[in-house]
């Protein structure tokens, strides 16, 4: 007897509910993190040799980020009814990003002004020797101008951004190509359909890589603890603690307040929904591996694919709340530690400069330090060599920065979707409450080839679509591991 699509989905939901706890990805990642910490603590030499495991997994994920961003932005633009709407969504998103960045930076400034952890350090900038990676970051930051991120957006070649992993340039190319495909009309439809099919292949590769997530988290955590040691946490533990507490308050109060008052959703339910992503960030210290999962889960919540495809990739470069808190906190700590007095007016001036310099190093290795140095060099009041005071503990702040960045982009996408009337609020509440739902229905505006495909379920088969679509493409149901 042949099963109907509805019966197949019901059977799939039953399989999800019966999935053993030890096969849940977040459980496996959590266990891997704990094992990595123990190994790094007890056998640091052996733990340090685990570095290739973590770096290989992160490299494999980064390999896919460029293509995913490029294809999903094109899919987002092609799914919008008209190009004017694309521009309006972009303007709204960038406006939200700037306001969020300002609030994050102000939060960091207020925290450091209240607790003044740098007082009493009395560091002499002349005795701070810069070397290794820190010296390279300082050199790049000192040579960087505040306006360079604007000119840097345009790549030298088409393939250069994908080779170098420059997400800002990938976004630029994707927007240009997406608009061009939309403008040529029917001539572009076969290409858009091909983009959707190509994205299915990329997400299939992603599903292969994600199976290695526990190994990647284990390798990265073991290396970090084995290399830097738990003792590093005690040297500047008060600064690390202040950063974590400030970030937590920002996420719960500011982002949670925005989510509750405007979107009418609960931030703590959102934490639970994205638990796998948060644990993976904790293990790998970067938010890049969880970008695809964020997009799939937001779509499953009821956010239209066009909004997800436009807002999330852009937010990964322009909406870095965790980096903004860190930037303002570290700048003021260095000023206090080097006995550099800064008035409120000067601090506001620093904030204005940071709004520009923070965008210049998005997606660049050591971007936080480059932005920090560029800020200090532009102002000229606080010595740039002071970043050596915080360089040693940066690794233990990167996880928090990445988790705050991730939270900020999740909230931003929901905010913009509500603003654009592209959010099924009833569905979002049901999903966050833990209900297992079928993939969201396809709207008329989305009844075009899309670039967010249905990733494979655990059994290796695609989840059934809710309806047939034009040009041979299918709707994009969320895989079993996302619905669970």
For the chain, how far is it from start to end, CA to CA, in angstroms?
A: 28
Average pLDDT value for the chain: 77
Whether the per-residue pLDDT at 3 is higher than 50: the answer is no
* Highest mean pLDDT out of 136-150, 170-184, 371-385, 418-432: 418-432
Model pLDDT, residue 461: 38
Average pLDDT (329-353) is: 84
How much of the chain exceeds pLDDT 70, in percent? Answer: 74
Instruction: Tell me the percentage of the chain whose pLDDT exceeds 90.
Output: 20
What's the pLDDT tens digit per position in 20-34? 766 777 778 888 888
CA nearest 182: which of 306, 94, 318?
306
Contact between residue 363 and residue 162 where contact means Cβ atoms under 8 Å apart? no
Tens-digit pLDDT profile for residues 90-101: 899 989 999 999
Q: 130 falls in which pLDDT band (50, 70, 90)?
A: low
What's the Rg (C-alpha) of the chain?
23
Per residue in 417-462, pLDDT tens? 999 999 999 999 999 998 877 777 654 444 443 434 444 333 333 3
Decide if pLDDT at 263 tops 70: yes
Tens digits of residue pLDDT in 29-69: 888 888 988 898 888 889 889 888 888 887 887 788 788 88
Over residues 191-210, the pLDDT tens digits come to 888 888 888 888 788 878 88
Within 10 angstroms of residue 189's Cβ, the number of other Cβ atoms is 16
Q: What is the pLDDT of residue 105?
A: 92
Is the pLDDT at 473 greater than 60, yes or no? no
- Look up the pTM and report it: 0.75
**C-alpha span between 205 and 463 (Å, rounded):** 17
């Amino acid at each position: 007897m042949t099963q109907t699509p509805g019966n197949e989905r019901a059977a799939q939901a039953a399989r999800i509910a019966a999935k053993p706890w030890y096969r849940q990805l977040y459980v496996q990642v959590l266990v891997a993190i704990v094992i990595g910490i123990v190994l790094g603590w007890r056998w640091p030499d052996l733990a340090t040799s685990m570095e290739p495991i973590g770096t290989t997994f992160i490299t494999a994920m980064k390999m896919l980020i460029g293509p995913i961003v490029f294809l999903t932005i094109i899919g987002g633009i092609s799914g919008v009814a008209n190009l004017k709407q694309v521009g309006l969504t972009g303007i709204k998103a960038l406006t939200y990003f700037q306001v969020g960045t300002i609030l994050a930076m102000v939060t960091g400034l207020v925290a450091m002004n209240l607790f003044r952890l740098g007082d009493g350090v009395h560091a002499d900038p002349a005795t701070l020797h810069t070397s290794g990676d820190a010296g390279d970051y300082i050199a790049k930051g000192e040579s960087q101008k505040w306006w360079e991120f604007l000119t840097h957006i345009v790549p030298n070649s088409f393939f250069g951004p994908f080779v170098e992993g420059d997400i800002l340039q990938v976004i630029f190319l994707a927007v240009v190509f997406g608009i061009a495909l939309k403008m040529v009309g029917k001539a572009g439809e076969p290409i858009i359909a091909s983009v959707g099919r190509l994205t299915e292949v990329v997400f299939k590769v992603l599903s292969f890589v994600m199976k290695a997530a526990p190994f990647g988290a284990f390798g990265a955590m073991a290396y970090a603890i084995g290399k830097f040691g738990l003792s590093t946490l005690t040297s500047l533990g008060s600064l690390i603690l202040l950063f974590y507490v400030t970030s937590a308050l920002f996420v719960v109060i500011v982002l949670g307040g925005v989510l509750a008052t405007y979107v009418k959703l609960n931030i703590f339910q959102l934490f639970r929904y994205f638990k796998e992503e948060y644990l993976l960030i904790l293990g790998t210290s970067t938010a890049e591996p969880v970008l695809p999962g964020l997009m799939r889960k937001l779509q499953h919540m009821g956010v239209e694919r066009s909004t997800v495809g436009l807002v999330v990739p852009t937010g990964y470069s322009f909406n870095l709340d965790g980096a903004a808190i860190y930037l303002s906190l570290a700048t003021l700590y260095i000023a206090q530690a080097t006995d550099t007095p800064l008035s409120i007016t000067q601090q506001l001036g620093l904030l204005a400069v940071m709004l520009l310099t923070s965008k210049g190093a998005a997606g660049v290795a050591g971007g936080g330090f480059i932005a920090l140095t560029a800020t200090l060099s532009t102002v000229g009041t606080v010595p740039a060599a002071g970043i050596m005071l915080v360089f040693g503990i940066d690794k233990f702040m990167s996880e928090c920065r990445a988790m705050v960045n991730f939270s900020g982009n999740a909230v931003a996408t929901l905010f913009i979707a509500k603003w654009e009337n592209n959010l099924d609020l009833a569905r979002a509440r049901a999903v966050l409450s833990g209900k297992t739902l079928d993939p969201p229905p396809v709207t008329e505006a989305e009844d075009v080839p899309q670039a967010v495909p249905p990733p494979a379920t655990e059994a290796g088969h695609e989840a059934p679509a809710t309806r047939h679509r034009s040009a041979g493409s299918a709707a994009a149901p969320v895989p079993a591991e996302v619905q669970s």
